[in-house]
Amino acid sequence: MPCFISRAFFFCKKKMKKAIVIGAGFGGIASAIRLIKKGYKVELVDRCNNLGGRAQFFNIKGFKYDAGPTIITAPFLFEELFSIHNKKLEDYITLKPLDVWYRFIYNDGTYFDYEKSIEKTILNMKEISEDDANNYQNLLESSKKIYDLAFTKLAHQPFHNLSTMIKQIPFLLKFRSYENVYKFTSRYLKNEKLRRAFSIQPLLVGGNPFETTCIYSLIHYLERAHGVYFAMGGTGNLVKALSKLMKEIGIKITLNTTINKFVLKNKKIYSVIDQKGNERKADIFISNLDPLHLYKKIISKNNSLSLKYKKKYAKHSMGLFVLFFGTKKKFKDIKHHSIIFGKEYFELLEKIFKKNELPKDISIYLHRPTATDSSFAPKGCDSFYALVPVPNLESKSILWEKEANNFKNHIVKVLEKKLMPGLKKEIVQEFYMTPLDFKNNYLSDEGAGFSLAPFFTQSAWFRFHNKSEVLDNLFLVGAGTHPGAGVPGVLSSARVLESLL
C-alpha cells in the first residue's frame, strides 16, 4: 500500500500542469491565486521591483504614497481570493470604511460631500438642488438595475464568442446602453454641479463621461452596495498581504524580469523568453500586459483580422499626470478624497480626449491618505497625491521632458488658489509621473492610464478577449480585457479566466 500511494503521488506531481502569469497587477495576482487552487503549478513574473503593477508603493524618508488605486470598492473580490484557500482577508490587512467618500469642490468655492450615509448625501444635495435630492433614489434604482445585469451576471462571464454578445442585445437596449453616462445622469439630475459629481465614474476607469456607455453607471450602485474602503497602510499594504498569501500557497514570484519574446508552435506558445535570454515553458500562459503592447510588440505577426482591426482603430484611455508631495504641516480640513473641478467640464474633456491639448483649466483628484492613516507621513506632516487627467502620448505636441516641471508648478498653483493657501512653501518632498512613465514603467501603449477607453464598441465581445483570438493556450486578464479597468474590473477578469479553464 505505501508503494502504491508513493507511485500515485509521483504520477500526480508529474502530471501537474504549469501556468506562467506575465504581469503582477491585481489581475495577474488574482489569476495566480485562482490557478493554483485549480491544481496548476504557477509562476508569476513581473518587470517591476515590487508586485502590484500600477499599484506601486513609495516610502521616502517617512512619507508614503500609493502610486495607483487609492480605494477599494468591491472588497468581496479580495475576500474571495483568501477564502478559496481557507484564509481570511482580515487576518492579513484591515480595510477601513470611509464616511465621506468624495468631496467635490467647485470653481465658485462651494462643495458637495458624497457620503456613506444616503441620508446625509441627500441632505447635502438639497443644499444645491432640492428637486435633484428628491430624485436621487430614482437614479440609484436605475444604477442598480444596470449593476444587477452588467456586473452581477456578466462581469465574470467570458465574451470571446459573438453569440454571447448577441444574446445580451435586448437587455443592453433596454438599459439604453447607447446613451453615455452624462446623459444617463442628466435624466435624473438637472443641476450642473450634481451632474458633474454623479457622472465622473468613467474617469475612474479611463473614459470620457460624454462618450462612455451608461453601462458604467453601475459603478454608482457598486459603491452603495459594497461601500468605499481604504486599506490601512495603503494599497501597497494590500499588495503585501496578497504577496504573503501567494508565498503561503506555493506560487513562485519572479520580479525585475521582462518577458519580451514568445516562441510559438502550432498556434500555441511553446515558451517565453525574458530580457536576459532565460526561457520558460508552461502548459498555459496568462498575460496581464496591456493587450495593445502584447499584440503590437510581442506577437504582432500572428494577428487575426479581428485583432488587426482592434489595434488599428483602438481608442486609448486618457493619460495621467500624478504629482506626489509631502508637506511639513497638516491640512486638517481636507478630506481623504477631493475632486477639484475647474470652470470647464465638457470643454476640458474635449481637449483631453479629442483635441489632445494640455489644458490650463484643470480638474484634480486629490488623495490625502493621512486623513485616515497617520502612518503615511512623519508626525505633524501630510502626504498627498494629485492626479490630473491629460492627453495620452498620441498627442505629439506635448513634450513631457520639457513640459512636466511647468505642469507640476501649475498644479501647485491651482491647489494654492482653490484649496491649500501657501502650499508651495510647505512642500518638503515631491516627484511626479507622466504618461511617459506609464509607457516606460508599465509598457502601457501610448502611455494610457487605463489601456482601452470604455466605449460600448470596446466593451465585452468588442474588447480584447480573455481567451486569445490567435493562440490556443494564451489567456488575457487586466484593464484592457473584459470586463474592463478599475480594481473590480481587473479582479473580475481573473474570475473570467477561471471559468474558461
Is 0.75 topped by the overall pTM? yes
410: Cβ contacts below 8 Å, ≥ 6 apart: 360, 362
Distance (Å, whole) CA 163 – CA 154: 14
Reported for 219-222, long-range contacts at CB under 8 A and 24+ positions apart, including other chains, are 219/73, 219/486, 220/139, 220/140, 220/143, 221/140, 221/143, 221/144, 221/146, 221/147, 222/73, 222/74, 222/147, 222/151, 222/488
Of the CA atoms within 13 Å of residue 218, those in its CB half-sphere come to 25
Report the DSSP pairing between strands 474-476 and 284-287: parallel
Alpha helix (H) residue ranges in 428-484: 435-442
Distance (Å, whole) CA 103 – CA 114: 6
Q: Is the pLDDT of residue 158 over 90?
A: no
Per cent of the chain over pLDDT 70 is: 96
Look at residue 11 in the predicted model and tell me its pLDDT. 45
What are 469's three cell numbers?
483570438
Distance (Å, whole) CA 27 – CA 55: 11
What are 465's three cell numbers?
478577449
Do 487 and 74 meet the contact criterion of CB atoms below 8 Å apart? yes
Q: Is the pLDDT of residue 395 over 50?
A: yes
Average pLDDT, the chain: 93
Look at residue 1 in the predicted model and tell me its pLDDT. 45
Query: Hey, which bits of 35-167 come out as E strands?
Result: 41-45, 57-60, 63-66, 95-97, 100-105, 111-115
Q: Is the pLDDT of residue 10 over 50?
A: no
Which of the residue ranges 135-149, 280-294, 296-310 would you say has the lowest mean pLDDT? 296-310
Per cent of the chain over pLDDT 90 is: 84
Measuring CA to CA, which residue among 443, 447, 444, 348 is closest to residue 399? Answer: 447
Q: Give ∠ CA 208-321-107 in degrees, rounded to 5.
A: 65
Look at residue 308 in the predicted model and tell me its pLDDT. 86
Measuring CA to CA, which residue among 430, 447, 436, 448 is closest to residue 401? Answer: 436
Report the DSSP pairing between strands 41-45 and 18-22: parallel
Look at residue 14 in the predicted model and tell me its pLDDT. 54
Measuring CA to CA, which residue among 497, 470, 459 is closest to residue 157? Answer: 497
pLDDT digits 0-9 by tens, 345-361: 999 999 999 999 999 99
Q: Is the pLDDT of residue 441 over 90?
A: yes
